[in-house]
């Protein structure tokens, strides 16, 4: 009988220890969940900052056509994340398109879309160009073969509407979504 009582006490102590360990584990886990969420937010903001740093050189600057072609190459793997609009003199009958946010009026026929696609429109607001979409989907992914073909066309001087002259001068502006996240770049060839 004494052996059964000892076994019962050991089982009882074991159950209490198990409950204590599980309780401690759950409390540690719930605390770590908050830490993990905070870490994910920090990593997301670091990634966003790095992504924005890549496009900052195009913020309100004048760049060469070779810089535009380089941007098409550099961002080609980010389809669905970023879009590049290019207005060439060949596409617009020799006329330069103003991309000044104060005077900007978007006409999709003036621009070629690269890297991603959109059915949205661009509006000038204060000192920013804002990409808006009525259907909720701001950017669509374009297949790699299509992106590569677009880039080849941009480098082909025989296709005057799409040709990006490497020695041409282009004004550039960043494009934001309504949450002020950078979603693209607009380039417009200058005369």
Do 96 and 43 reside in the same domain of the chain? Answer: no
Do 50 and 119 reside in the same domain of the chain? Answer: no
* pTM confidence score: 0.74
Domain that holds residue 77: 59-189
Query: b/e for 151-182, b at 16 or more Cβ within 10 A?
Result: bebbbeeeeeebbbbeebebbbbbbbbeeeeb
Spatial contact of 163 and 156, defined as CB atoms under 8 Å apart: yes
Residue 1 pLDDT: 58
Do 9 and 63 reside in the same domain of the chain? Answer: no
Residue 169: pLDDT over 90: yes
Spatial contact of 186 and 122, defined as CB atoms under 8 Å apart: yes
Share of the chain above pLDDT 70, in %: 98
| pLDDT level of residue 191 (50, 70, 90 thresholds) | confident
Q: How far apart (Å, rounded) are the C-alpha atoms in residues 83 and 63?
A: 17
Do 50 and 67 reside in the same domain of the chain? Answer: no
Q: How many domains does the chain have?
A: 2
Residue 52: pLDDT over 80: no
């Amino acid at each position: 009988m004494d052996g059964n009582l000892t076994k019962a006490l050991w089982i009882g102590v074991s159950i209490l220890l198990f409950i204590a360990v599980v309780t401690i584990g759950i409390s540690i886990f719930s605390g770590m969940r908050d830490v993990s969420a905070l870490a994910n937010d920090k990593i997301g903001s670091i990634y966003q900052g790095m992504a924005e740093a890549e496009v900052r050189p195009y913020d309100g600057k004048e760049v060469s056509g070779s810089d535009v072609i380089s941007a098409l190459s550099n961002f080609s793997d980010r389809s669905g994340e970023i879009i590049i609009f290019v207005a060439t003199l060949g596409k617009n009958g020799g006329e330069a398109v103003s991309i000044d946010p104060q005077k900007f009026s978007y006409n999709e026929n003036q621009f070629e879309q690269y890297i991603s696609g959109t059915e949205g429109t661009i509006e000038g607001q204060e000192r920013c160009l804002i990409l808006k979409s009525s259907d909720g989907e701001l950017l669509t992914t374009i297949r790699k073969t299509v992106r590569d073909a677009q880039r080849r066309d941009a480098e082909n001087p025989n296709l005057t509407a799409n040709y990006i002259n490497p020695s041409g001068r282009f004004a550039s502006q960043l494009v934001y979504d309504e949450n002020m996240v950078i979603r693209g770049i607009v380039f417009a060839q200058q005369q």
